[in-house]
Structure 1
Amino acid sequence: MDTTATLMRGARRSGGGSSGSKVPPIPPRLEVLALVGPGGVAARLRDIEDAWRSALGWTVAPWRGSPAQAVPAHAKFLADNLLWACGSYESVGQDIDDLRRLHDECTALVNDERRPGRVQIGACPARCDDDSLCGQPLTATAASHRVRCGACGARWETLGEWRELRAAQEQVAEEQQRQEEVAA
């Protein structure tokens, strides 16, 4: 994914001749930059690896090199320790979801698939263990019927659950409005 042809809209992927233009096509494919840059594939795999290492009581790997060097090392670590994670690591389900989503994003880019954009649908109305409101911004896409909070892990997957989500968001908004009125 980290090639000029992949990064730029309209650029050719084959090694053929030049178009004659010295100006690269604009705009760059931001979704590719998001995956190859900071916070991209290497960082997302590193975060999962670090969580697993922490759960195992191992030290965090201090040096990982460039993303091109790090991604295969992270993938090998995760593959080597997957059996342990499935049997002993409580958050493995969320990590598998994250890996599946990352794989889908990479596959879509490599295959030049256009995906529908995400739209914000409000804040997460779930309550945390300390009864505080999660409040993480939620997004949805036309490509999936699932909504999942990245912070607390709450999920809404069916039409009925979507209605419950909307009702809970409205209830939270009403509670916040009442609190503001009392404070004023």
Structure 2
Amino acid sequence: MASFLTRADTLASIDLNRLVSLGIKGVILDLDNTIISEDDRYLSPHAEDWIARAKDVGLQFFFLSNGKRRYRVEYWSHHLNIPAISPAKKPFPSAFHKAMKHMQLESQQVIVIGDSRHTDVLGAWLSGCRSIQVASLPHPPRWWEKLLGKYVQTPYPKKLELWDYQASNHNQN
């Protein structure tokens, strides 16, 4: 298995050719603060284009989200045509195994991409998958982030662009 933890600034900065060359065929993807900020304020730059290009080279996707607002997961699952489990109860491996079974892939063929070490990266490790931790999109800090800070997430680099996103663009029913 590859290294326990690889990092990238954003989803779009991950080299698709490198993933394919490593034998990756499936991506388990976090939603909150990876694709869209938890407060719906920012969209990760070029994330949708990166996902479309990844699908074009044959990668499969599955969302795992611990987010409490199920409508957000349903919206993005439908919008990007990616199946999802929410709540996923990461880092426990059950949802990771369900995602791999759905994609009909083994753990060595799957990479987990997310912003949190204690949920996404740990869950990948417990499931036997490789992982890439991306910088967390700016969002109001949760209590454990205030307590553990840089030990659980990498702050979004100030030098990188952010895309404003309006929550009114998607259905909140």
Q: TM-score, normalised by structure 2?
A: 0.23
Bigger strand share: 2
Bigger helix share: 1
Q: Which has the higher contact order (CA 8 A, sep 6+)?
A: 2
Q: TM-score, normalised by structure 1?
A: 0.22
